[in-house]
Structure 1
Amino acid sequence: MIVQDLGLMAYAEAYALQEQRVREIASGVSPETLLLVEHPPVYTLGRSGHMDNLLDSSIEVVSINRGGDITYHAPGQLVGYPLLNLGHRGKDLRHYLRFLEEVLILAAADVGVVGRRCQGKTGVWTDQGKLASIGAGARRWVTMHGFALNVSLDLSGFSRINPCGIVGCPMVSLASLTGRMISVKTVKERVVYHFESLLEAWLPEQQGVNA
Structure 2
Amino acid sequence: MGFQQGSIRKANTGTTASDIDTRDIDIRDIDIRELGTVDYEDTWHLQADLAAQRAEGKIPDTILLLQHPPTYTAGKRTEPSDRPTNGLPVVDVDRGGRITWHGPGQLVAYPIIKLADPVDVVDYVRRLEQALIQTCEDLGLHGTGRVEGRSGVWLPAGVIKNELKPARKIAAIGIRVTRGVTMHGVSLNCNNTMEYYDHIVPCGLADAGVTTLTEELGREVTVSDAHSLLARHLVDALNGDLQVDS
2:41 corresponds to 1:2: no
1:75 Cα deviation after fit: 0.4
2:223 corresponds to 1:194: no
Residues 73, 93 of structure 2: 8 Å contact kept: yes
- Specify the alignment match of 1:111 in structure 2: 139
2:131 corresponds to 1:92: no
Residues 115-154 of structure 1 mapped to structure 2, 5 A cutoff: 115-127=144-156, 129-154=168-193
SS at match of 1:23: helix
Match of 2:99 among 63, 70, 75: 70
Letter in 2 for 1:146: G
- Specify the alignment match of 2:59 in structure 1: 30
Give runs of ≥4 in structure 1 deviating > 3 Å: none
Larger of the two Rg values belongs to structure: 2
Aligned in 2, Cα 1:147/1:182: closer, same or farther, shift over 3 Å? same
Residues 162, 168 of structure 1: 8 Å contact kept: no
SS at match of 1:123: strand
Letter in 2 for 1:77: Q
- Specify the alignment match of 2:209 in structure 1: 170
Letter in 2 for 1:187: A
Residues 42, 73 of structure 1: 8 Å contact kept: yes
Residues 162, 169 of structure 1: 8 Å contact kept: no
2:82 corresponds to 1:56: no
SS at match of 2:187: strand
RMSD: 1.5
Higher helix share: 1
Give the TM-score taking structure 2 as reference length.
Answer: 0.79
Q: How far apart in 2 are the matches of 1:89 and 1:77?
A: 33
Aligned in 2, Cα 1:191/1:72: closer, same or farther, shift over 3 Å? same
